[in-house]
Amino acid sequence: MTHFNVVVPVEGTDGKTRFRRVGALFENAHSDTGEIYYTVQLDFPVGVTKLLAFPPRAEEVPEAAPRAEAPGEPAG
């Protein structure tokens, strides 16, 4: 299972920034469809302790700009 530490930057009295762990992000796959989604599990309550993140739906993704052809590259 892939996971990442979720951190917040905290500036110390010495002016150095340190990172305090506040939770973890896990990559998951839906058991029926195999669709990938992510879970953020926080170490302390902040109203909610778990957030989910999904890739955007096709209609939410802006269309990619047409790729310019490089000089000498065949068209198509």
What are 14-54's pLDDT values in tens digits? 999 998 888 888 999 999 999 998 898 888 877 766 766 66
Place of tokens 């490089």: 70
**Helix, strand, or coil here: 35?**
coil
Q: What angle do CA 31, 35, 39 make, to 5 degrees?
A: 85
Q: What pLDDT digit, counting tens, does each position of 12-22 carry?
A: 999 999 988 88
- State the pTM of this model: 0.57
